[in-house]
Amino acid sequence: MKKIAVLTSGGDAPGMNVAIRAIVRSAIHYGMEAYGVQDGFKGLSENDIFPLTRKHVTRIINRGGTILGSARYPEFKEEKTQLIAVENLKKRDIEGLIVIGGDGSFRGAQALSKLGIRTIGLPATIDNDIASTDYSIGFFTALDTAVESIDKLRDTSFSHQRCSVVEVMGRHCGDLGLYAGIAVGSEFIVTPETGFDKSKTIAEVKKSFDRNKRHAIVVVTENMTDVHQLAKDIEKATTHETRATVLGHVQRGGTPQAFDRVLATEMAERAVYLLSKSLGDKVIGLNRKDLEEFSFEEALSMKRETPSKRYGLVGQLKN
């Protein structure tokens, strides 16, 4: 294999640029040419493909986002669009493709793999919802952002004897809420894994204030409830001033922290190595400190296990 390409797809995640950098430099090491695809599968179908050199990836290791851009492109579910993308790669004699993204991105990569393109998937999503890896690229940087923000909210909540309801991202996975809740000493978390019982949550917050606590922190995963309404209901029930804060897309940006940089580099090098051996249909995952490979079918069919012991910590330490 002489030519490979890389694209980033779906929601951006800190560490994507680190992976792009490692892919280009590893390709040079293995004697291959690297190409970049602008704006994910959209660029692949629109033939927006260009050579990537060492110069393109100089001084990007500390940059958030992705220099290749990303786009959600539902049209790529159609086979005719996939065939156009395959043809665009073949025109340039590109035989291998690395897709950096989440589960939606992996479905697009799987489709290309079935059409004869040797494809490797790198899990990069702040939601950490890829079951085939312990941690995905970008998760810990997003977690640091959430923790820093909630720490600041705690300072003012303590000063004014308030309750703060904080919404974090995560989509259908509660890892960001769970880890942030433990890291900031949150009294309560609401995630897809815990479910949401409004009356029970409000009763627990009220009980906390009745024990003379000066403040309370409730961390909620997005899409679980209207946090602004929840804040009003808590304030009405407890008579303590309550504010809701939606952290939103600030969690996607920022300089990738060390763990994400190392993870992205190691996964990217493994991906290029596999392509240098003409291997495809692989998703790279981290399993207890070691990298493993799964087929796209295996990776996409896995179910994420709920870390029940970690959820128990929140309940034990809220008193």
Q: How far apart are CA 275 and CA 291, in angstroms?
A: 16
What tokens appear for 286 in the block?
Answer: 């981290």
How does pLDDT run across 270-297, given as a tens digit for each residue?
Answer: 999 999 999 999 999 999 999 999 999 9
* pLDDT beyond 80 at 132: yes
Predicted pLDDT at 156 = 94
Partners of residue 147 on adjacent β-strands: none
32-43: average pLDDT: 98
pLDDT range class, residue 317, cuts 50, 70, 90 = low
Q: State the pLDDT at residue 46.
A: 97
Catalytic residue among 12, 39, 103, 127: 127
- Average pLDDT score over residue span 205-229: 94
Q: Catalytic annotation on 12? A: no
Sheet holding 290-294, edge to edge: 49-52, 33-37, 3-8, 96-101, 118-123, 282-287, 290-294
Looking at residue 94, its pLDDT comes to: 98
User: Can you tell me the distance from the alpha carbon of 125 to that of 103, in angstroms, rounded to the nearest whole number?
Assistant: 9
- Average pLDDT value for residue range 112-140: 97
Pick from 7-21, 85-99, 110-124, 192-206: least confident: 192-206
The model's confidence at residue 309, banded by pLDDT at 50, 70 and 90, is confident
User: How many C-beta neighbours within 10 Å does residue 292 have?
Assistant: 14
- Give the span between the Cα atoms of 184 and 164, in whole angstroms: 12
Please list the helix, strand and coil fractions of the chain in percent, rounded to the nearest 5, in that order: 45, 20, 35
pLDDT at site 84: 98
- The pLDDT value given to residue 307: 67
pLDDT attached to residue 17: 98
Question: Tell me, what's the pLDDT at 137?
Answer: 98
Mean pLDDT of the chain: 95
Which pLDDT score is estimated for 316? 55
Which domains are present in the chain? 3-138+256-301 (3.40.50.450), 142-249 (3.40.50.460)
Digit-coded pLDDT (tens) for 184-193: 998 899 999 9
| Average pLDDT of the residues in 121-135 | 97
**Model confidence band, residue 308 (pLDDT cutoffs 50, 70, 90):** confident
Give residue 258's pLDDT. 98
Most confident of 166-170, 208-212, 213-217: 166-170
Give the whole-angstrom CA distance, residue 268 versus residue 311.
32
**Confidence (pLDDT) at 90:** 97
How many CB atoms within 10 Å of residue 29? 12
User: Strand pairing of 216-221 and 188-190?
Assistant: parallel
pLDDT surpassing 70 at residue 13: yes
